[in-house]
Structure 1
Amino acid sequence: MTQSFSSALLDNFLGNAPDWYKKTIVLFLIINPIIYFAAGDAGPTIAGWALILEFIFTLAMALKCYPLQPGGLLAIEALFIGLTSPSTVYHEIQANLEVILLLVFMVAGIYFMKNLLLFVFTKILLGVRSKVVLSLMFSAVAAVLSAFLDALTVTAVVISVGVGFYGIYHKVASGKKFHHDHDHSDDDQVDELNREDLENFRSFLRSLLMHAAVGTALGGVCTLVGEPQNLLIAGRANWEFFEFFIRMAPITLPVFVAGLITCAVLEKIKILGYGQELPEKVRGVMEDFAEAEDEKRTKKDIASLWVQGFTAVWLVIALGLHIAPVGLIGLSVIVLCTSFTGVIDEHSIGKAFEEALPFTALLTVFFAIVAVIADNGLFTPIITEVLKMEGTTQIAMFYLANGFLSMVSDNVFVATVYINEVAKAALDGTISRDTFDMLAVAINTGTNIPSVATPNGQAAFLFLLTSALAPLIRLSYGRMVIMAFPYTIVMSLVGLAMVYITLEPATEKMYEKGWIKHHNLETLCDSVGGSWENDKCKLDEKKKAGGH
C-alpha cells in the first residue's frame, strides 16, 4: 500500500512518539497564535501562561518524547508570534552561561572518573546492608556536597554511579559475562527468571536517586555557593559567606533535619515507591563483579584509579575555594583525567559529551520560555499583591509565592525577578533595609525548598529526569512528582513555619549577638549598579529592571 505524504510526514514528526502525543503538540502550535492575536490586550498574558503549561506537559511526557524537540518547536513559535525576542533569549542565556558551561564540561569530566566512582560506591553499596542507613548516607552526602560544590555536579556523580550499577546487573541478567559488550537499554535479552529482580532493582535505584536529588536541595539552600540564585541574592544584599549561612539557618537547619527524618520514615513505612531493598540476587552479582574487577585489575588500572582520585581531590578543592567558574574547573578535570589515563583520541573523548549536550540544548530552550515570562511580566501581578502586605504575613507570602512560581518556572529566574523588585521597593522607601534582608531570606528559601515539587523547579531534578538513566529505571515526570510529594509537603511546611514564627525574632537575636550587622541603603544601591547621590539612589531604567 502506498503511504500518503501527510501520513509519512506524521510518521516522521517526533519519531516514535505516540500519535496522540504528536497531535497534541500540533494542537498547541495551532492554538497559541490564535490566543495571542484573538484575545486582544490579554493575548500575550494568556498565551504566555498557555505556553508555560504546554512546556511543562512536554517535560511530564519526557519518556514518550525527549522534550527538546516539542519544547523547541513551542519556543520557536513564541519567537515568531512575538511572545519574546531573540535578544531577551540571548540575555537569559548570557545570565546562565556558567550553568551551560557546567553542563558541557563538568558532566563530561565526571564521565572520566566513572571507574573510581563505581569502585567507591560499589564498596559502600555492598558494605551497608540497611536500606535506611544507605538512603540517609546518599541524602546527607548529597546535601553536604551541594552546600559547598554544586547540585548539578553532585547529580552527575549520582547518575554516573546509577548507570554503572544498572549496567552491571542488566548485563548478567541478560546471560552475559562482565567483559561482554551489552546494550543495557534493551530488555529483550533479559532472562524471564531475572525480570522480577530487575524491576525490584529499578525500584531500589529510583528511591536512592530521589533521596540524593532531594539532598542536593537540602544542602543547596544553606550556603552562598549552593545554588546560582543564592549567589545573586547574597550579592544584592551584600552578605558574605558566614552572614548568608547564619541568616538562612533559622529556616534551613530545621528543614535539613526534617528532610532527613522524612527520608528515614519513607524507607521504614515503604510508601510512594520507597522501601525496596537491594535484591539478594543483585547483591550477589555486584559482589561477583567487585571480586572480578579486583582480580583483573592491572598496575595500569590502579595507576588510572590513583589519577582519578587525585583529580577528585583537585575537583573538591577547586570547587570549595571557587577559584574559577564551575564549567572551567570541569574542563580542567577532563584535561587531567584524559592526559594521565591514556584517553587521547577525539572519538573516545567525544563519548563523554553525549550525556550532557542534549540536556544543555533543552536548558537553552527552557531559557526561551523564561524569556517569555520576563517580556510579558507574567509574575508581576503576584509580586505587586505580595508587596502590598505587611509584617510577618508579607514575609511568609514571599516564601509561598516564590515557592509556587519556582515549581512551574526556573527558580533562578524567579529569585532574580523578586530580589530586583524588592530592592527597588527598599530604595523607593516602600520597605526598610532590615525588612529587605528578611524578604531576601524568604526569597532564597522559597525558591530552593518548595521547588522540589516538580522536575522543572530544580535544575538537578530536570537533569536527572532527562538523563540516560531515567528511562532505564522507569523514572518518569509523574513518578518524580509522586516520590517528591512527601518531601515537598514536609519541607515546605517546616520552612513556612520557620519563616512565619522564628525568622523575625531569630534575626533580632542575631543582631544583638553581633553575628550579623545592619546594612544601609547605600550598599544596596551599589549592589544594583547605582550611585548614591543626595541620599537617593540614581538608577537607569535598564538596571532598575534587572536587565529585562
Structure 2
Amino acid sequence: MALSFSQAFIKNFLGKSPDWYKVLILLFLAINPLLYKINPFIAGWVLVAQFIFTLAMALKCYPLQPGGLLAIEAVAIGMTSPEMVMHELEGNLEVLLLLVFMVAGIYFMKQLLLFIFTKILLNIRSKTVLSLAFCVASAFLSAFLDALTVIAVVISVATGFYAIYHKVASGKDFQAKHDHTSDEHVQEISRDDLNHYRAFLRSLLLHAGVGTALGGVMTMVGEPQNLIIAGQANWHFGEFMLRMAPVTVPVFFFGLATCFFVEKTKICGYGARLPDSIRQILIEYDLDQTTRRSPQDKAKLWVQAAIAVWLIVGLALHLASVGLIGLTVIVLATSFTGITEEHALGKAFEEALPFTALLAVFFAIVAVIVDQELFTPIITWVLHLEGAEQLAMFYIANGLLSMVSDNVFVGTVYILEVKEALLAGMLTRDEFDILAVAINTGTNLPSVATPNGQAAFLFLLTSTLAPLLRLSYSRMVIMALPYTVVLSLIGLACIELTLVPMTEWMLELGWIHPQTLVPENTTTSHH
C-alpha cells in the first residue's frame, strides 16, 4: 500500500524513532516561537528543558538531530545569534579539539589498553576490589590528564571486552569478523550470561565515570573550568590542589566508601559479577592472543606503551593543549604501527565526531542561556547573601545549575561575577579565594547527577557502547544517585565546616600564601 506524502514525511523524519517522539519534537518546534513572543525568559528555560529531554531519549534517537533542530530554531527566532554560538565554540575550542583528536588517538592505542585491562580483569577476582581499582585509576588519571580522555580509554576497553564475548556467544572464533552491535546470532543459552555481562560492564563504567569527577576536581588540569578558575585566582598547580584539599580529600574517600557500599548492597544496578563462563572465554582469548603475538605485534605494543608515557607526561606538564597532544598521538601511533591507509584512519574518528557535533549544538543552547540571561536571577540572589550562608548557597547554586547546563559554562560565569564583585570592593581577597573553592567544587561534584552535568558522562551516554550495554539516561541517573547524594552532601558539609578553618591553618603554616588583589588585565573572559 502506497504511503501518502504526509505519512512518508513522518516516516522519514527522525528515521526509526517512535511516532510519539517525532510528534513531540514537531510540537516543541511549533510552540517555541509563540512562547518566545510571549515571554523570552520562560521560552529560554523551556528550550533548555526540551534539549535535556532529547538527551534523556538518546536511545530512541541520537540527540544531535532533534537537539540540532531546536538550536537552529532558537537562532532563527532570535533567542541567540550565529555570532554568539560561534563565540561559545571559540571559547570551547580546546574541548572540541580534544574530542576530534584525543579520542581518535586513543583508538590507535586500543591493543595496549585491551592487553593491560585484560590482565587487570582476570587477576582481580573480587568485583568490589575491581570496582575500587577502576574508580581509583580513573580518579588518578583524571587529576593529571582530563576526564574525557580517561572515559574514552574506559569506553575503548569496555567495547573490546564486550566484542570478545559477543563474538564467541554468536558461535565464532576469536579471529572471525563479527558485528557486535547485533544480537541476531547470539545463541539462546548465552543470552542470560550476556545480560549479566552487560550489567557487570555498566557498573564498571559508572564507577570509572564517577572516578573522573573525584580526581578531576582536585587539580587545575582535571577539568576545563578548573583552569579558568585557577587563572582568575592566580593560583599555580600546587596552591590550587592545597586550597581544594579541605573539600576534595574527604569527598574522595567518601566516594570510595560509596563504591564499596553499592557493590556490597547491590543497589541501583550495581553488584553484578563476571559470569564464570565469560571469565573462561576471556582467559582463552588472552591465551590465544599471547600465542599468536608475532614480533611485529610485540613491537606495536612497545610503541604504544612509549606513546602512552608521552601522553601522560605531555598532559601532566601541560606541554600543549589536549587536542594537539592527541594529534601527536595519532601521528606517532599510526607512523610506527604501519597504519597509512586513509580508510583505516577514518574509523578512528567515527566514535568522536557525532559527539563533537552534539557538543557544538550544546554550546548553541548555552548561547541561549547567555543571551536570555537565564542564570542571572540566581547569580544576583546568591551574590547578595553573606557569610557562611553565601558560601553554602554558592556551592548549591553551582551544583544545581551544573546538573542542567555545562559545568564549564557555570563555573566560568560565577568566577567572573565574583571577580567583578572583588574588583568593585564588595569582597575581600580572602572571601574571593574561599568562594572560588565553593564554585569549583560546586560545578564538579553535584553535576555527577545527570549526563548533561559532566561532559565525560554525556560522552558515555552518547557513545556507541551505551545502547549495546542498555545504558539509558534514566539508568545513568539512577546508578549515579548514591554518588550524587554522598558527594554533594559531604562536599557541602566540608564547605560549611572545614574549608575556612583549614584554609586559615594552611596560611599559618605557610603552605599557601595570601594573594594580592587580582590585576584587571588577568581577566580572560569566556564570553
**TM > 0.5 fold call:** yes
Q: Does 1:63 align with 2:59?
A: yes
**1:99 alignment counterpart:** 95
Q: 1:4 corresponds to which letter in structure 2?
A: S
Identity over aligned pairs, percent: 67
**2:31 alignment counterpart:** 31
Secondary structure, counterpart of 1:182 in structure 2? coil
Q: 1:449 corresponds to which letter in structure 2?
A: L
Matches within 5 A, 1:69-84: 69-84=65-80
**1:124 alignment counterpart:** 120
Structure 1 distance, partners of 2:320, 2:240, is 21
Matches within 5 A, 1:372-383: 372-383=368-379
Q: 2:142 corresponds to which letter in structure 1?
A: S
**2:145 alignment counterpart:** 149
**1:293 alignment counterpart:** 289
Structure 2 distance, partners of 1:397, 1:504, is 15
Q: 2:189 corresponds to which letter in structure 1?
A: L
Contact 1:68/1:358 (8 A) holds in 2: yes
**1:450 alignment counterpart:** 446
1:519 is displaced (CA, Å) by 1.6
Contact 2:110/2:157 (8 A) holds in 1: yes
1:508 is displaced (CA, Å) by 1.2
**1:282 alignment counterpart:** 278
1:430 is displaced (CA, Å) by 1.3
Structure 2 distance, partners of 1:157, 1:256, is 21
Structure 1 distance, partners of 2:298, 2:497, is 55
Structure 2 distance, partners of 1:524, 1:480, is 43
**Which of 304, 307, 324 is the equivalent residue of 2:320?**
324
**1:167 alignment counterpart:** 163
Contact 1:201/1:278 (8 A) holds in 2: yes
**1:192 alignment counterpart:** 188
1:460 is displaced (CA, Å) by 0.3
RMSD: 0.8
Q: 1:36 corresponds to which letter in structure 2?
A: Y
Q: 1:78 corresponds to which letter in structure 2?
A: A
Contact 2:91/2:526 (8 A) holds in 1: no
**2:432 alignment counterpart:** 436
**2:3 alignment counterpart:** 3
**2:337 alignment counterpart:** 341
Structure 2 distance, partners of 1:313, 1:254, is 30
Contact 1:237/1:524 (8 A) holds in 2: no
**1:532 alignment counterpart:** none
1:429 is displaced (CA, Å) by 1.3
Contact 1:269/1:275 (8 A) holds in 2: yes
The runs of 4+ residues in structure 1 deviating greater than 3 Å are: none
**Which of 460, 471, 479 is the equivalent residue of 2:475?**
479
Secondary structure, counterpart of 1:107 in structure 2? helix
Secondary structure, counterpart of 1:457 in structure 2? coil
**1:525 alignment counterpart:** 520
Structure 1 distance, partners of 2:295, 2:362, is 46
Which deviations, in whole Å up to 9, do the C-alpha atoms of 1:20-62 show, x marking residues without a partner? 100110010001001001x1xxx21111000000000000000
Structure 2 distance, partners of 1:336, 1:388, is 53
Secondary structure, counterpart of 1:425 in structure 2? helix
**1:538 alignment counterpart:** none
Structure 1 distance, partners of 2:493, 2:343, is 53
Which deviations, in whole Å up to 9, do the C-alpha atoms of 1:389-443 show, x marking residues without a partner? 1111101100000000000000000011101111111111111111111110000
Secondary structure, counterpart of 2:175 in structure 1? coil
Q: 2:85 corresponds to which letter in structure 1?
A: V
Structure 1 distance, partners of 2:10, 2:120, is 49
Q: 1:374 corresponds to which letter in structure 2?
A: V
1:184 is displaced (CA, Å) by 0.6
**1:498 alignment counterpart:** 494
Structure 1 distance, partners of 2:402, 2:177, is 42
Matches within 5 A, 1:331-480: 331-480=327-476
Contact 1:423/1:524 (8 A) holds in 2: no
Contact 1:237/1:527 (8 A) holds in 2: no
Structure 2 distance, partners of 1:406, 1:428, is 26
Which deviations, in whole Å up to 9, do the C-alpha atoms of 1:441-463 show, x marking residues without a partner? 00000000000000000000000
Q: Does 1:133 align with 2:132?
A: no
Structure 1 distance, partners of 2:526, 2:127, is 48
Matches within 5 A, 1:161-310: 161-310=157-306
TM-score (norm. length: structure 2): 0.99
Contact 1:392/1:504 (8 A) holds in 2: no
Which deviations, in whole Å up to 9, do the C-alpha atoms of 1:125-170 show, x marking residues without a partner? 0000000000000000000000001110000000000000000000
Contact 1:206/1:473 (8 A) holds in 2: yes
1:547 is displaced (CA, Å) by 5.7
Structure 2 distance, partners of 1:271, 1:436, is 40
Structure 1 residue ranges without an equivalent (≥5): 530-545
Structure 2 distance, partners of 1:547, 1:472, is 37
1:269 is displaced (CA, Å) by 0.6
1:528 is displaced (CA, Å) by 1.5
Contact 2:449/2:484 (8 A) holds in 1: yes
Q: 1:251 corresponds to which letter in structure 2?
A: V
1:526 is displaced (CA, Å) by 3.2
Structure 1 distance, partners of 2:522, 2:377, is 25
Contact 2:369/2:375 (8 A) holds in 1: yes
Structure 1 distance, partners of 2:363, 2:142, is 23
Structure 1 distance, partners of 2:33, 2:521, is 42
Contact 1:63/1:476 (8 A) holds in 2: yes
Structure 1 distance, partners of 2:505, 2:116, is 44
Matches within 5 A, 1:507-518: 507-518=503-514
Contact 1:205/1:473 (8 A) holds in 2: yes
Structure 2 distance, partners of 1:426, 1:313, is 42
**1:534 alignment counterpart:** none
Q: 1:141 corresponds to which letter in structure 2?
A: A
1:524 is displaced (CA, Å) by 4.2
Structure 1 distance, partners of 2:117, 2:457, is 21
Count residues in correspondence.
Answer: 527
TM-score (norm. length: structure 1): 0.95
Q: 2:62 corresponds to which letter in structure 1?
A: Y
Secondary structure, counterpart of 2:498 in structure 1? helix
Which deviations, in whole Å up to 9, do the C-alpha atoms of 1:168-226 show, x marking residues without a partner? 00010011111111111111111000000000000000000000000000000000110
